[in-house]
């Protein structure tokens, strides 16, 4: 049988692409090397705890009155997902700046607090809000190939070439307010002076206007739900099916599995990173594709410590959903500090704050994460791997205790540590990177949307974190929809 599409990988991007294609009556086969769908969006069990590996904030879902793109998509596929709004409840600390604040309440409370801290924040921040909306609407229009972008969205065009830092300075935001607003981006490693303002604005737009939600169920249930709907719509998933080669076969594409089985399709959708596909799956010489890929910066990798604690979050005094500690609030300086294994940047999440049933009664899940820029893990060998991983995990726990004045160690009942090697093994992510190619410099969403029609590998398309909209579950899902919609549209135009 010749499939219309074969998809490599059942991560969020692959499942989303599969859903849209199957919904449009295409024959679709997904190969997934693991035995469950979801990729990074998965769950694992240790003792009486079920840990979600990655998804704690789902962006662009919105609520009943103000649906985000994901909610609209799920409605179209008749998919019901139970969610819980996430309150603004973030504790941020910066060592060099001697800064410690809790962002909580509604957006207006936050703005008032920023005004108290840095005069001039309120008026300039309020003036920023219509610009965020304009950027969002312009991006939607651009995706629909609208022509009169310049006329309809003049401010979008004005800030198109600016980096986030310069744009916010231009908009007169006080310097420290700029640094505080940038905290989300420090976490995924993009210095504000290299991040396009448009990408920054779109993220802030989603954060403010389509408030992030948490899933009521576990990561794996969400992934299984998408996979089940895909199969109900006529799609097929083969698990434990590791793709090792994609090659040409007359006018078709051949996909080869590790057991030697060969399958045929007209087009291939890759939910693996472009670099991995070019390096390991496609054996042809593709200089143009390599040229483009080599110009991209692969995102940071990191260490994640999943802790099951045998006390309630109230007893542990873990009152915040998210915790961040930075060396410096200035993203450029902070990222410099993250080039070594022993640095002080920590991100933590306490899922029980939003969802009481995240773990058994009177217990708490705490997930600690620290990220590394460049080649910080280069010196790790087979001999020192386990010891280094454990030492870094212990240090991360101690630092968290010290930073936020809490006692954690004596209440640890379960502990799992994931390193860049763990993530690389799980999803084939290059270098164990957590967020695909970063949106930096010219490699930003705008450039990716505009240059998409010039993709350089015929009949192979990329979805997921490696694709147009970058990392994050919302972007991975949206890319799966967007790329397949473009393909379907092209087909409609031709027929």
d(CA 275, CA 225): 29
Give the other-Cβ count within 10 Å of 410's Cβ: 8
In angstroms, how far apart are the furthest CA atoms of the chain? 67
d(CA 201, CA 153): 14
According to DSSP, the β-strands at 252-257 and 243-249 are antiparallel
Closer CB to ligand FAD, residue 197 or residue 435?
A: 435
CA nearest neighbour of 98 among 309, 374, 328: 328
Closer CB to ligand FAD, residue 169 or residue 424?
A: 424
d(CA 423, CA 292): 24
* Token pair listed for 494: 């031709």
Q: What is the closest distance, in whole angstroms, from the C-beta atom of residue 56 to ligand FAD in the complex?
A: 4
CB of 288 within 8 A of CB of 480?
no
Alpha helix segments (H runs only) across 160-250: 164-170, 175-181, 183-187, 197-209, 219-232
* Token pair listed for 192: 């504000």
d(CA 46, CA 69): 34
Helix (H) or strand (E) holding 262: strand 262-270
Q: What is the closest distance, in whole angstroms, from the C-beta atom of residue 374 to ligand FAD in the complex?
A: 18
Q: What is the closest distance, in whole angstroms, from the C-beta atom of residue 51 to ligand FAD in the complex?
A: 10
CA nearest neighbour of 477 among 460, 463, 488: 463
Facing residues of 7 across strands?
30, 269
Closer CB to ligand FAD, residue 124 or residue 299?
A: 299
d(CA 43, CA 151): 47
Closer CB to ligand FAD, residue 33 or residue 113?
A: 33
Q: What is the closest distance, in whole angstroms, from the C-beta atom of residue 179 to ligand FAD in the complex?
A: 22
Q: What is the closest distance, in whole angstroms, from the C-beta atom of residue 122 to ligand FAD in the complex?
A: 29
Closer CB to ligand FAD, residue 12 or residue 29?
A: 12
Q: What is the closest distance, in whole angstroms, from the C-beta atom of residue 121 to ligand FAD in the complex?
A: 27
Helix (H) or strand (E) holding 492: helix 473-494
Q: What is the closest distance, in whole angstroms, from the C-beta atom of residue 55 to ligand FAD in the complex?
A: 5
Closer CB to ligand FAD, residue 41 or residue 173?
A: 41
d(CA 181, CA 185): 9
Q: What is the closest distance, in whole angstroms, from the C-beta atom of residue 105 to ligand FAD in the complex?
A: 21
Closer CB to ligand FAD, residue 178 or residue 348?
A: 348
CB of 384 within 8 A of CB of 390?
no
Q: Which residues bind ligand FAD (CB under 6 A)?
A: 8-13, 31-34, 39-41, 54-57, 59, 242-243, 271-272, 304, 369, 427-429, 434-435, 464-465, 471-474, 476
Q: What is the closest distance, in whole angstroms, from the C-beta atom of residue 2 to ligand FAD in the complex?
A: 20
Closer CB to ligand FAD, residue 242 or residue 297?
A: 242
Closer CB to ligand FAD, residue 82 or residue 100?
A: 82
Hey, is 324 helix, strand or coil? strand
d(CA 358, CA 321): 12
Alpha helix segments (H runs only) across 118-187: 121-143, 149-152, 154-159, 164-170, 175-181, 183-187
Q: What is the closest distance, in whole angstroms, from the C-beta atom of residue 58 to ligand FAD in the complex?
A: 6
Closer CB to ligand FAD, residue 156 or residue 373?
A: 373
Q: Which residues are CB-neighbours of 134 under 8 A, at least 6 positions away? A: 153, 155, 156
Closer CB to ligand FAD, residue 124 or residue 466?
A: 466
Q: What is the closest distance, in whole angstroms, from the C-beta atom of residue 257 to ligand FAD in the complex?
A: 8
Closer CB to ligand FAD, residue 182 or residue 302?
A: 302
> What is the DSSP secondary-structure string of 64-78?
SSSB-HHHHHHHHTT
* Token pair listed for 92: 């941020």
CA nearest neighbour of 305 among 218, 404, 431, 389: 389
Q: What is the closest distance, in whole angstroms, from the C-beta atom of residue 203 to ligand FAD in the complex?
A: 11
């Amino acid at each position: 049988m010749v499939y219309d599409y074969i998809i490599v990988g059942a991560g969020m991007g692959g499942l989303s692409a599969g859903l849209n294609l199957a919904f449009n009556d295409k024959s679709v086969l997904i190969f997934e090397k693991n035995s469950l769908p979801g990729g990074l969006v998965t769950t694992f069990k240790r003792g009486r705890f079920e840990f979600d590996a990655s998804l704690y904030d789902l962006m662009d879902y919105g609520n009943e009155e103000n649906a985000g793109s994901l909610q609209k998509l799920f409605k179209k596929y008749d998919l019901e997902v139970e969610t819980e709004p996430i309150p603004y409840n973030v504790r941020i600390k910066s060592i060099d700046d001697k800064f410690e604040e809790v962002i909580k309440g509604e957006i207006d409370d936050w703005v008032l607090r920023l005004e108290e801290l840095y005069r001039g924040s309120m008026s300039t921040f309020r003036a920023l809000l219509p610009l965020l909306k304009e950027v969002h609407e312009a991006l939607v229009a651009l995706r629909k190939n609208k022509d009169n972008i310049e006329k309809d969205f003049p401010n979008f065009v004005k800030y198109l070439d600016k980096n986030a830092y310069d744009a916010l300075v231009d908009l007169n935001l006080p310097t420290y307010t700029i640094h505080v607003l940038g905290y989300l981006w420090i976490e995924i490693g993009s210095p504000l002076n290299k991040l396009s303002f448009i990408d920054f604005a779109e993220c802030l737009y989603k954060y403010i206007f389509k408030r992030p939600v948490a899933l009521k169920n576990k990561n794996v249930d969400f992934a299984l739900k998408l996979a089940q709907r895909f199969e109900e719509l006529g799609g097929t998933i083969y698990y434990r099916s590791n793709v090792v080669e994609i090659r040409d076969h007359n006018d078709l594409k051949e996909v080869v599995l590790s057991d030697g089985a060969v399958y045929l399709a007209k087009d291939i959708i890759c939910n693996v990173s472009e670099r991995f596909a070019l390096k390991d799956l496609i054996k042809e010489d593709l200089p143009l594709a390599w040229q483009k890929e080599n110009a991209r910066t692969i995102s940071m990798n990191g260490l994640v410590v999943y802790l099951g604690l045998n006390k309630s979050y109230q007893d542990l005094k873990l009152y915040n959903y998210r915790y961040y500690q930075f060396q410096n609030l200035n993203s450029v300086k902070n990222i410099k500090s993250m080039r070594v294994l022993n640095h002080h940047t920590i991100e933590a999440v306490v899922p029980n704050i939003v969802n009481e049933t995240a773990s058994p009664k009177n217990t708490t899940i705490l997930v600690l994460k620290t990220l590394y820029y460049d080649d910080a893990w280069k010196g790790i060998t087979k001999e020192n791997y386990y010891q280094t991983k454990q030492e870094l995990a212990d240090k991360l726990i101690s630092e968290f205790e010290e930073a936020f004045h809490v006692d954690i160690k004596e209440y640890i009942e379960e502990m799992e540590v994931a390193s860049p090697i763990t993530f690389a093994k799980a999803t084939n992510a290059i270098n164990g990177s957590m967020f695909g190619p970063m949106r930096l410099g010219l490699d930003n969403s705008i450039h990716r949307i505009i240059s998409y029609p010039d993709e350089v590998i015929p009949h192979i398309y990329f979805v997921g974190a490696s694709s147009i909209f970058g990392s994050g579950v919302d972007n991975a899902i949206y890319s799966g929809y967007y790329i397949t919609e473009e393909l379907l549209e092209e087909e409609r135009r031709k027929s």
